[in-house]
Structure 1
Amino acid sequence: MSSAPEQSRKPSGDWSQLLFNKVVIVTGAGGAIGAAISHCCVLHGARVAIADINKKAADAVVTKIITDDQTQKDNVMGIELDVTDEQAIQKAVKTIVDKWNRVDVLVNNAAIFTLRSIEDASAEAWSEIFNVNVRGYALMAKAVVPLMKKQRSGSIIQMASISSWIAQPNFVPYSTTKGAVLQMTRNLALDLGSFNIRCNSICPGTILTQATTTHAANLQQTMDEFTAAEVKKQCLKRLGSPEEIANLTVFLASDLCHFATGASFVADGGYTTI
């Protein structure tokens, strides 16, 4: 039987810091959602490794966090990380453990957005998107699970999508990988539950990010046109924000959520309800 979560790691009298002293790795942290997750985790007391294949983007997030609060300078670190490179992952995890001694939370957020029909998706495009969106998640989990098993605690949070659940025009490669993320999450939850390690996924809907802006441009729509079309599909008539995904991530990472595992949490403004 797995042990109860470590009560000693809770902040005394301050429940605003839900991740007090937890060590969090966020991949793809140079993008809008990854940056928001990193910042929110820090605000809740975590020490955060901000990992991205683009080191300048990761460092920019670090700089923003420290600029907002100088006391956080020892609680963040920027790491250049290609999640398709297993040796680079092992090196990055060692760097994090050498600095902070443990890993409590992995947020698998790195992704690429290959939106194509089946005829238009090349073999190379399929290999690239699977390497990042599926294999990369698996390799990151492989690297941190031994540490979490020794600790007998941990939370792995995987960024899936509403595209995991519904069909969308010319989304075949992306949707296929995000469907795979859901199944990986379920299997990890089963295999790791006896070690008190939880694994859940988040399925965002349409979130206002650079990827959304790029998608609108590819559709030859202005953002106003794109937004008007999207909100018709939702109960809440607006786009989501990266901060709203970040708040859900913090909850799943925290000790307020230690009986949820193998689950998929949809944050889509009701898109998949209609």
Structure 2
Amino acid sequence: MMSRIPEQATKASGNWSHLLEGKVVIVTGAGGAIGSAIAQTCALHGAYVVVADVNKTAADETTTKIIGEDPNKKDHVMTIELDVTNEQSIQHLVKSTVDKWNTIDVLVNNAAIFTFGAVEDVTAEAWSRVLDVNVRGYALMAKAVVPLMKKQQSGSIIQMASISSWVAQPEFVPYSTTKGAVLQMTRNLALDLGPFNIRCNAICPGAILTPASANHAASIKITLDELIKEQEKNQCLKRWGTTQEIANLTVFLASNLCHFATGASFSADGGYTTI
């Protein structure tokens, strides 16, 4: 049994500035606020990053931010237009990644859509779409990368869940349902993939200020300022989180510092689920 323990798990790391040095990381939904922050931070820590998003323009913007004024970084980043509901699109992503960098070390399942509203107002089509992206899309991405991870006997899958996985919120039925499913998928993947040294964990962000925050406020007929104050009142730290804080946690979970964590859900909610 002891022979299965990776060497990195037994030695202290003195390098905290390049936690993902040489790792190949796929980030879905990397054109959005949280996904972009994750992709940029992974690159900052030395990863080769696949910036994947259904919106190619948004993905290109993230890639441009990663490259900045350093042309050498062009070899460490790749933009791919990706529809996580389409297996052909996913296979193209995996093939392009392996052709360029030979492997895939980390998958960050982050792509998601928000569907809000009273349950009687949510259409069957809206239900199908949110389940297709937020649940089936995560499963199809895992399906595509797992064979390679099994072959190399290592890998990390990080799934973006939500505090909505745990607590009820007004008019959140479709979104909360999908995020609850993500947590259970994470646990089952961890169980099935553990023997192959593949870890699977979930991150549950709380109130993170992004462009989607204004849409949520509008859906429940309050202003963004009112939403901010209401959320701050209900959490220990009395503030909203940032996309960078979610990105930092993602890097930690993807790194060799986190070899013994799998099947876990990590809340980053300012203490919202504590109160």
Sort the TM-score into its range (normalised by shorter chain): over 0.9
Q: Counterpart in 2 of 1:264? A: 265
Q: Counterpart in 2 of 1:120? A: 121
Question: Any conservation in 2 of the 1:3–1:152 contact (CA below 8 Å)?
Answer: no
Q: Counterpart in 2 of 1:251? A: 252
Question: Any conservation in 2 of the 1:129–1:173 contact (CA below 8 Å)?
Answer: yes
**Aligned AA (1:103):** I
> What CA distance in whole angstroms lies between the structure 2 residues aligned with 1:121 and 1:181?
21
After the TM superposition, which residues 1-274 of structure 1 pair with which residues of structure 2 at under 5 Å, given as runs?
3-5=4-6, 7=8, 14-274=15-275
> What CA distance in whole angstroms lies between the structure 2 residues aligned with 1:13 and 1:179?
37
**Aligned AA (2:113):** I
**Aligned AA (1:121):** V
> What CA distance in whole angstroms lies between the structure 2 residues aligned with 1:13 and 1:164?
35
Q: CA 1:24 to 1:109, structure 2 compared with 1: closer, same or farther past 3 Å? A: same
- 1:85-138 per-position Cα deviation (integer Å, ceiling 9, x unaligned): 011101110000000000000000000000122211111111100100000000
Question: Any conservation in 1 of the 2:117–2:219 contact (CA below 8 Å)?
Answer: no
Q: CA 1:194 to 1:212, structure 2 compared with 1: closer, same or farther past 3 Å? A: same
- Normalising by the residue count of structure 1, what TM-score does the alignment of the two structures yield? 0.95
Question: Any conservation in 2 of the 1:161–1:178 contact (CA below 8 Å)?
Answer: yes
- 1:42-90 per-position Cα deviation (integer Å, ceiling 9, x unaligned): 0001000000000010011001111154331110111000000011101
Equivalenced residues, count: 272
**Aligned AA (1:76):** V
- 1:228-254 per-position Cα deviation (integer Å, ceiling 9, x unaligned): 111001111111100000000000000
2:175 counterpart SS class = helix
Question: Any conservation in 1 of the 2:170–2:220 contact (CA below 8 Å)?
Answer: no
- TM-fit CA distance, 1:186: 0.3
- TM-fit CA distance, 1:153: 0.3
> What CA distance in whole angstroms lies between the structure 2 residues aligned with 1:72 and 1:157?
24
Q: Which moved more, 1:229-238 or 1:189-198?
A: 229-238
Q: CA 1:222 to 1:118, structure 2 compared with 1: closer, same or farther past 3 Å? A: closer
> What CA distance in whole angstroms lies between the structure 1 residues aligned with 2:113 and 2:67?
28
Identity of aligned residues (%): 73
- Normalising by the residue count of structure 2, what TM-score does the alignment of the two structures yield? 0.95
**Aligned AA (2:225):** D
Question: Any conservation in 1 of the 2:171–2:220 contact (CA below 8 Å)?
Answer: no
2:85 counterpart SS class = coil
Question: Any conservation in 1 of the 2:153–2:197 contact (CA below 8 Å)?
Answer: yes
> What CA distance in whole angstroms lies between the structure 2 residues aligned with 1:139 and 1:64?
28
Question: Any conservation in 1 of the 2:42–2:49 contact (CA below 8 Å)?
Answer: yes
2:68 counterpart SS class = helix
**Aligned AA (2:163):** I
2:75 counterpart SS class = coil
1:158 counterpart SS class = strand
> What CA distance in whole angstroms lies between the structure 2 residues aligned with 1:164 and 1:21?
33
Question: Any conservation in 2 of the 1:206–1:239 contact (CA below 8 Å)?
Answer: yes
Q: Which moved more, 1:68-77 or 1:111-120?
A: 68-77
Question: Any conservation in 1 of the 2:31–2:58 contact (CA below 8 Å)?
Answer: yes
Question: Any conservation in 2 of the 1:21–1:47 contact (CA below 8 Å)?
Answer: yes
- 1:122-171 per-position Cα deviation (integer Å, ceiling 9, x unaligned): 11111100100000000000000000001100000000000000111111
Question: Any conservation in 1 of the 2:116–2:219 contact (CA below 8 Å)?
Answer: no
- TM-fit CA distance, 1:13: 5.9
1:92 counterpart SS class = helix
Gaps of 5+ in 1: none
